[in-house]
Structure formats: structure tokens, C-alpha cells
């Protein structure tokens, strides 16, 4: 029986940004902003989302990844009770809840690091952090040096090989499972985490909750190293993310097709059988609408996201085509405050949510879009067609990023003599296993059996 995450459609929320929380902790009082977030639950469900990835949520001092308290929801967002209620509302709407797990490093205000600063060599937490040396120093002038994530010394790196650290982190995960009933964790900086730690985490979480999902943030490298039996269930597919926008900017579908052929081709794809987490943008990269040279390509990218192999994710606001670009070290433009009612009234691209609804419904109705093998059917610089095939079922996607209409002819794995475009209802005739169609400029077609 399939697990829930194998056919999931995710909605991704960076809550500190969406809810307009202060960038730094300004008060010890709890701000109850989750009541506003509850209005987003029917919006997510209406789009067809079956899961939400929300984070960071651990109590922190600034951007959310400098953890102060692993067992408390960030007070700028609300209380633990507020989040319990939010999870309950998501579950009632058929939406699973996945949170950020920031386990590679802590903030400097975390109790163990504070104890290290105070007691130095005498601290029982001296070995909780990597490469602590009292012969060195950092720009914080603590009188000692330590390993930090990418030399960002506000994020001291935990010693994952310390058994006390591992037990502490696993107790944190158990707490979030039992206290909040979460369904999974997205592991921040998973490419920095020890493989044995990940294996032990997979074993532990399956004991706590049989269908618990572990997804890792991995930017570079061989994704197969982090996924598979006994490891993480999925990782972020940054390789595909890059191709989805640059393949359109360069009018070069060969880039996207090469990536997918290498990853998922039915005859030897290196990640065949794995389900990677797919996205067009997220809280760390520029918005899709800001990366595309031609905004007319937006529907094409969304169609590919949902029909190519992978678990699709929608980053809050991008379903309306909002823009946002990193400005120097400032990630704020990619993580904006959004009021749902305002966006529903005046979205830049109000037609995109309707397209996403159709694509999400199609993914739910057609198992081939989750489990089907990938088969390339036609490839040109500006046109691309492929099939997802599962037993006797086939779904065929064709896209045209040209400024001119494009007549296409390609072998079609759909059985029978008739097919229909699931996006428009347009019918076509199949002759001797071939499809003959003409795509308008910036048109996408998703064919299913009539």
C-alpha cells in the first residue's frame, strides 16, 4: 500500500515571513499569529494540497535557524497550544504536517552554548559542539573557537557523533511527534548530517510513527547517497529546480530533458524508483516569476512540475505569480508578509491557482503521475513531450515555449483511438499509436485516455 507522501502535493510556508513576525525577538511575550494562519488551511486544501511543510518553528532569535529552544514554538508566531490547534485543523482538512528540523547547528542562545560560554573548559556541554578550541577565538570574542555552519558563527555546529547530542535530538523529534502529532521532518542542511545519524533517525521515527516522512535539504551531490532503504525518504531536487527556469529562459528543453533522463529514465535513470522533492522556488531562492525572462512561461513550468517525476511543492505566494529576489544578504523579498484576503482580490496572475487545482486533481486521480515510469517522446529546443506510464495507464505532457504555434507528431503510449487534454477538455484522435497536435505559443497539454 502506498504511503501518503508518495502521491503528496505540498504547500510550503515560511511562517515568520508570511505572518509578518519581527525579524528579531523583541519581547518575551507570546504573539498569537497562528489564528491568521488557520485561514490558509482551506486555501491549501482548495488548491489540492495534501501536505504542508512549515518552518522553521523552533524558538529562535532571528531568522528561525538559530535555535534557542527546540521544544517551544517560536513565540513570535504563537504558543505550543496554538500549533497543536493548527495541526489538528490541517489533519481535519486531509493535510499532513511536516516541520523543519534544524539539527546541524544551534543558535548562540541555546542553553548548551550559553553554558559553554559561561563555564568554558568546565562545561559539561563542551563536547556538544564541534572542534571547540580554547586556543582560538571568533569575532564574537568568546575566548574560544568552534566549528560553525559555513563559518557563520551565530550558528555553532553540533557534534553529531556525540551520543548525548544524538539522544537529545531524537528526544526532540519524539516530543514533536507526541506533542504536536507531526507527520514528518524536513532536515535542514541534511548534506551536513552524518549518514549513521540519518539511518538511526529513520529507524527511530518509524518506530514512533510508521508512515513518518524524512526529507533532506541537499543542494549538490549524488542524491542516492541520502535516500533509499534505511535512509531518508526524499531530498530536495535542486538539479531539476535549476533546469525548470533556465531551460525556459534559454529556450532549451534539452537541459530539462537531460536532467530527467539522467535521473529517472525508465532504462537506467540513476534515481529511478526514488521520489525526490520538486519545487520551482522556496525560501532560499528567488521567486519563479522573478527568474523567468518571459512571464508567459509560468504555466509551462507549473505543468512540468506536476507531471515530471517528483513530489511537487508550492511555495506560499508563488501560486499567484508574485515576485521576490534576494537583495545582497537580505532574504526578506523571498519571504514576504502576505495577507490571504488581499492576495485573493489582487493577485498578479490570478489564473495560476486554477491551473494548479487542475494539476493537483490530475495527480490525485492518475497514479501514473506519482509512480509511473518516465519516457521521452519528443524533444526540440522549444518543444518537449513525455509520458508517465504505469501498467495500462499513461499520461502524456506536451509543452511549447515558442512565440509561434508548433505542430507536433510523436508516438503516444495512451491506449485507444481518442485522448483528451485534461487542462482544456480538447479531444484529439490517435492514429496508429501517434499523436498529432498543434500547440499555441506558451501552451501546455496533458493528455489522458478519453
* Terminal-residue alpha carbon distance, the chain: 28
User: Do 93 and 85 form a contact (C-beta atoms < 8 A)?
Assistant: no
Span 328-341, pLDDT tens digits: 989 999 999 999 99
What pLDDT, on a 0 to 100 scale, did the predictor assign at position 366? Answer: 97
Tell me the mean pLDDT in the region 170-193: 98
pLDDT mean over 8-13: 98
pLDDT of 350 above 80: yes
The C-alpha cell of 208 is what?
514512533
Comma-separated ranges of CATH 3.20.20.80 domains in the chain: 4-369
pLDDT computed for residue 36 by the predictor: 95
**Cα separation values, 356 from 18, 48, 58, 75, 169, Å:** 20, 8, 31, 33, 37
pLDDT the model gives residue 288: 98
Strands 393-400 vs 383-390: parallel, antiparallel or unpaired: antiparallel
**CATH class of the domain comprising 4-369:** alpha beta
CA 368, 372, 375, 376 torsion: positive or negative?
positive
Specify the higher pLDDT residue, 71 or 344: 71
What pLDDT, in 10s, does the model give residues 352-375?
999 999 999 999 999 999 999 999
pLDDT digits (tens, 9 = 90+) for 115-163: 999 999 999 999 999 999 999 999 999 999 999 999 999 999 999 999 9
Per-residue pLDDT averaged across 286-292, rounded?
A: 97
* Other CB atoms within 10 Å distance of the CB of residue 178: 11
pLDDT at 7: 96
Percentage of the chain lying above the pLDDT 70 cut: 100
Q: What are phi and psi of 248, to 5 degrees?
A: -85, -40
446 band by pLDDT with thresholds 50, 70 and 90: very high
For the segment 391-398, the average pLDDT, to the nearest whole number, is 97
Q: CB–CB of 65/59 below 8 Å?
A: no
CA distances from 95 to 34, 44, 46, 133, 183 (A): 16, 8, 11, 46, 10
pLDDT value, residue 426: 96
pLDDT classification of 441: cutoffs 50, 70, 90: very high
Residue 26 has pLDDT above 90, yes or no: no
pLDDT (0 to 100) of residue 266: 86
- Indicate if the pLDDT at residue 268 is higher than 90: no
CATH architecture of 372-449: Sandwich (2.60)
User: pTM for this structure?
Assistant: 0.97
Q: State how far the Cα of 437 lies from the Cα of 446, in Å rounded to an integer.
A: 12
* pLDDT the model gives residue 160: 97
Task: Give the pLDDT mean for 12-39.
Answer: 94
Q: Where in the chain is the domain with CATH 2.60.40.1180?
A: 372-449
The pLDDT tens digits of the residues spanning 52-95 come to: 999 999 999 999 999 999 999 999 999 999 999 999 999 999 99
Please give the mean pLDDT across all residues of the chain.
Answer: 97
Asked if pLDDT for residue 1 goes beyond 80, the answer is no
Amino acid at each position: 500500500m502506498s504511503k501518503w507522501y508518495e502521491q503528496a502535493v505540498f504547500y510550503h510556508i515560511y511562517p515568520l515571513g508570511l505572518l509578518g513576525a519581527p525579524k528579531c525577538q523583541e519581547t518575551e511575550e507570546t504573539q498569537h499569529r497562528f489564528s491568521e494562519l488557520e485561514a490558509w488551511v482551506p486555501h491549501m486544501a482548495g488548491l489540492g494540497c495534501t501536505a504542508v511543510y512549515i518552518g522553521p518553528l523552533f524558538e529562535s532569535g532571528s531568522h528561525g535557524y538559530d535555535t534557542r529552544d527546540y521544544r517551544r514554538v517560536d513565540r513570535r508566531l504563537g504558543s505550543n497550544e496554538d500549533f497543536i490547534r493548527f495541526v489538528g485543523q490541517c489533519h481535519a482538512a486531509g493535510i499532513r504536517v511536516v516541520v523543519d528540523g534544524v539539527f546541524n547547528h544551534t543558535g548562540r542562545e541555546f542553553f548548551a552554548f550559553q553554558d559553554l560560554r559561561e563555564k568554558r573548559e568546565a562545561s559539561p556541554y563542551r563536547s556538544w559542539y564541534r572542534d571547540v578550541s580554547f586556543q582560538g577565538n571568533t569575532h564574537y570574542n568568546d575566548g574560544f573557537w568552534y566549528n560553525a555552519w559555513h563559518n557563520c558563527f551565530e550558528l555553532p555546529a553540533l557534534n553529531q557523533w556525540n551520543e548525548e547530542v544524538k539522544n537529545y535530538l531524537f528526544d526532540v523529534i519524539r516530543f514533536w511527534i507526541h506533542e504536536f502529532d507531526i507527520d514528518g521532518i524536513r532536515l535542514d542542511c541534511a548534506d551536513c548530517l552524518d549518514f549513521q545519524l540519518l539511518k538511526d533517525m529513520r529507524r527511530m521515527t518509524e518506530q514512533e510513527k510508521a508512515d513518518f516522512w524524512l526529507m533532506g535539504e541537499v543542494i549538490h551531490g549524488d542524491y542516492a547517497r541520502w535516500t533509499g532503504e534505511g535512509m531518508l525518504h526524499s531530498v530536495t531536487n535542486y538539479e531539476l529546480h535549476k533546469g525548470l527556469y533556465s531551460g525556459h529562459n534559454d529556450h532549451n528543453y534539452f537541459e530539462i530533458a537531460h536532467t530527467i533522463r539522467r535521473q529517472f529514465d525508465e532504462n537506467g535513470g540513476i534515481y529511478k524508483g526514488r521520489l525526490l522533492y520538486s519545487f520551482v522556488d522556496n525560501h532560499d531562492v528567488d521567486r519563479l516569476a522573478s527568474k523567468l525572462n518571459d512571464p508567459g512561461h509560468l504555466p509551462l513550468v507549473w505543468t512540468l512540475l506536476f507531471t515530471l517525476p517528483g513530489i511537487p511543492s508550492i511555495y506560499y505566494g508563488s501560486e499567484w505569480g508574485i515576485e521576490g529576489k534576494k537583495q545582497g544578504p537580505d532574504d526578506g523579498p523571498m519571504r514576504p508578509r502576505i495577507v490571504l484576503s488581499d492576495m485573493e482580490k489582487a493577485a498578479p496572475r490570478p489564473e495560476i491557482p486554477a491551473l494548479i487545482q487542475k494539476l493537483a486533481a490530475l495527480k490525485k486521480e492518475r497514479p501514473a503521475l506519482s509512480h509511473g515510469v518516465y519516457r521521452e517522446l519528443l524533444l526540440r529546443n522549444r518543444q518537449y513531450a513525455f509520458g508517465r506510464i504505469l501498467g495500462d495507464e499513461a499520461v502524456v505532457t506536451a509543452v511549447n515555449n515558442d512565440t509561434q504555434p508548433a505542430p507536433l507528431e510523436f508516438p503516444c503510449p495512451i491506449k485507444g483511438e481518442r485522448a483528451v487534454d485534461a487542462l482544456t477538455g480538447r479531444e484529439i484522435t490517435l492514429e496508429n499509436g501517434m499523436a498529432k497536435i498543434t500547440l499555441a505559443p506558451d501552451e501546455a497539454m496533458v493528455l489522458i485516455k478519453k
